[in-house]
Structure 1
Amino acid sequence: MPRKRVYRSKKKLGQAPGTVVYTGDRLKDELDLVVFEYNKDTCIEKNLKSVEESFNLKHTDTITWLNLNGLNHVKDIEKLGYHFGFHPLVLEDIVNIAQRPKVDEYDDYIFVVLKMLNYTQTQQLESEQISFIIGKNYVISFQEAENDVFDTVRNRLRHAVGRIRQMHADYLLYALIDTVIDHYFGIIETLGDKIEDLESAIFSGEIDKSAGRTIQDLKREVLRVRRTILPIREVINKVEKSHHALIQKQTTTYFKDINDHISQVSENIEIYREMIWSLMEMYMTTINNKMNEIMKVLTIMASIFIPLTFITGVYGMNFHNIPELHYKNGYYVVWVTMAIIVIAMLWYFRRKKWL
């Protein structure tokens, strides 16, 4: 059964700019707030019970990463935004999950929107919007659901792996974005395996009526990944070339590395896009070939029966003056004649390699 398209923009029709309305459908009963406070010597991880507990994180001496799960808790997001001084349009974009990946620079913070992609257990492609706000000594991330790809970053913070605890908040932002981009490689790999498996099935003739639907589903997945990835290049380029005080010059080198990863992912998705079109053409060709084989068999059968029908039609007429009707062995002669015609036609068709 085809999935019904959901028009999320209807939830915001007629609303004033800056109105905070969650446009998604992932509803969490409780708001999850997890904070990491760290420097090169220590790292403290704790769960917050309310958004008010995060208000003192803006002016600490450590670097702070606050991760918020549950965009349906718009009131808490508004409280957090008003305390930190975020623009109402930023709060609106955080909970409007139809946002295109982008970056907006303000005087004392930078707002970044990305998309996280993930395959479910039923191999359905899911997209989740994630937003980042980086300030002088903090990064706040906003997610729809609990599942994310940031466990490696958390472990690096806990165990002081690499240089992450020695750098500023802009490096933390880089680490989080880099993890999202790296996860795209797993998505691309899974997508490539599905395309190659289908290609092998079509080549071997092991296809059924659902193959056409499978190709269309893969085509939609490729386009969805493509729509997610292409705008990210603009985001990374803008951050890399930014002269904002929050982005240090030494960190721009790492964002260049992300740009290389985006280019690699984009090249792969363009290849898979071409492969999908080729699979569709191959599938249609296979269907046409099968139809041609069926038509060839039916045509041969019809060709064989044309002379037989003619003979039986002639001697099936109800005229009295048909000499052959009075032959003693006429019935057997007709059968032998028709058998010879059938054998001769089959021999001719095989000689012409039509059989």
Structure 2
Amino acid sequence: MVNKIISKTANGFEWMDITAPSDDEFAEVAKKYKLHPALVKDCLQPDHLPKFERLENYSFIIFRICTGNDLPEADSVQELTHKIAIFYADDFILTIHRKKQTLFDELIESVGKQKCTGSHELLNLLINACLGTYDQPLKKLSKSVDYYEEIVFLRPKNAPLLKGLYYLKRKIDLLKQMLILSYDIIDNVDSKELGDVNTRDTRDQYIKFQNMFSSYSENIHQLLNIYFSASSQRTNETMRILTIFSVFFMPLTFIVGIYGMNFDFMPELKWKLGYPGVMLLMAVVTVLIYIWFKKKKWL
């Protein structure tokens, strides 16, 4: 569906928003604006990563907006982001996307209230709106990081947190990568020649999101390291306790083994105090081991 939002006669440039275009519709648009076939192909790829490409008469942008997918195990590019393709020139802007996006409704309403002075100003508003889709998911990821921090530090025996940490790490790293790949787009929107106060705000927002994602990514890596260290420490503590028990029982088992041998001629067989004597010997050995452990501060 092709929707003309801004006309060239009234504003000096036109904005065409194209949602889920058919092959015929897109071929007609490509012919009218003389779009390069390679860029048209990139435009139609649903999993294409962010890019910026400048041609002689126009520029081509692919920006991936955040979907806000709440599924715990969503961790792929298409699950977490949607692609917005933008063809940009002084006299036109084309936006192409597969699904209807609410950010365009909000942007159209904003543009209707204040007239854009040029296509570059509209492009900046578009990129700013696309960046804004990362705000809510970032807040949700922040709460998730806090939740897993609480589990790691305060409730170490509760919940299968390793799987949750894995998917949380995947989400944060993927969204962080999308922002990193979008750097060229922001840099060209806020260039030395075309930059102004509004484009600086867009760059500031980009830097803010990038820093926050980097911080959360680092926190998740630290949480994973702490989790593995804590698990290793608990295992070592268990092994230490089992080793202490085995040290106590080894000499007792040795004594019992000797007195359990079935020989006819043994010195203690006819001794009336043999049984209590052996029990006393075992008690003395146990006390001596306990004193030794205490002296070494192993208990």
User: Residue 254 of structure 1: CA displacement?
Assistant: 1.9
Q: Tell me if the contact between 2:63 and 2:83 (Cα under 8 Å) persists in the aligned partners.
A: yes
Query: Is 1:268–2:217 an aligned residue pair?
Result: no
Aligned to 1:292: 236
SS of match in other structure, 2:251: helix
Residue 146 of structure 1 pairs with residue 90 of structure 2 = no
Counterpart amino acid of residue 303 in structure 1:
V
State the one-letter code of the partner of 1:169: S
Instruction: Map residues 105-116 of structure 1 onto 2, 5 A cutoff.
Output: 105-116=54-65
Q: Give the TM-score, by structure 1 length.
A: 0.72
1:79 maps to 2:28: yes
Task: Give the fraction of aligned pairs with identical amino acids, expressed as a percent.
Answer: 22
Question: Contact 1:315/1:325 (CA < 8 Å) preserved in 2?
Answer: no
Task: Report the Cα distance in structure 1 between the residues aligned to 2:291 and 2:104, rounded to whole angstroms.
Answer: 71
Q: Which moved more, 1:96-105 or 1:304-313?
A: 96-105
| Cα distance in 1, alignment partners of residues 270 and 292 from structure 2 | 33
Decide whether aligned partners of structure 1 residues 309 and 350 sit closer, same or farther in structure 2, where only a CA change above 3 A counts: same
Paired with 1:80 and 1:267, the residues of 2 have a C-alpha distance of 38
Q: 1:1-355 alignment to 2 at 5 Å?
A: 32-37=1-6, 60-62=9-11, 64-70=14-20, 73-123=22-72, 124-125=74-75, 126-158=80-112, 160=113, 163=114, 165-207=115-157, 210-241=160-191, 249=194, 252-342=196-286, 345-346=289-290, 349=293, 353-355=297-299
The structure whose RCO (Cα within 8 Å, separation 6+) is larger is 2
Displacement of 1:347 in angstroms is 5.8
Contact 1:308–1:338 (Cα < 8 Å) also in 2: yes
Q: What CA distance in whole angstroms lies between the structure 1 residues aligned with 2:24 and 2:173?
A: 35
Q: Is the 8 A contact 1:74 1:95 kept in 2?
A: no
When residues 135 and 197 of structure 1 are mapped into structure 2, their CA distance, relative to the original with a 3 A threshold, is same
Name the residue aligned to 1:7.
Answer: none
The one-character-per-residue Cα deviations of 1:253-303 (angstroms, maximum 9, x if unpaired) are: 322221122222222222222222212221111111011011011101111
Shift of 1:131: 0.9
Judging by fraction of residues, say which structure has more helix.
2
C-alpha separation between the residues in 2 aligned to 1:265 and 1:308? Answer: 65
Q: CA deviation at 1:344?
A: 5.2
CA contact (8 A) 2:124 2:189 kept: no
TM-score, with structure 2 as normaliser: 0.84
Secondary structure of 1:61 counterpart: helix
Report the residue type matching 1:212 in the other structure: L
Q: CA contact under 8 A between 2:18 and 2:96: conserved in structure 1?
A: yes
Aligned residue identity for 1:109: Y
Rounded to whole Å, the distance in 1 between the matches of 2:259 and 2:39 is 91
Q: Which runs of 5+ in 2 are unaligned?
A: none
Q: Secondary structure at the match of 2:256?
A: helix
1:74 Cα shift? 3.6
Assess, with a 3 A threshold, how the Cα gap between structure 1 residues 304 and 104 changes in structure 2: closer, same or farther: same
CA drift of 1:315 comes to 0.5
SS for the counterpart of 2:279 is helix
Please report the RMSD computed on the Cα atoms of aligned residues, expressed in angstroms: 2.7
Q: Which runs of 5+ in 1 are unaligned?
A: 1-31, 38-56, 244-248
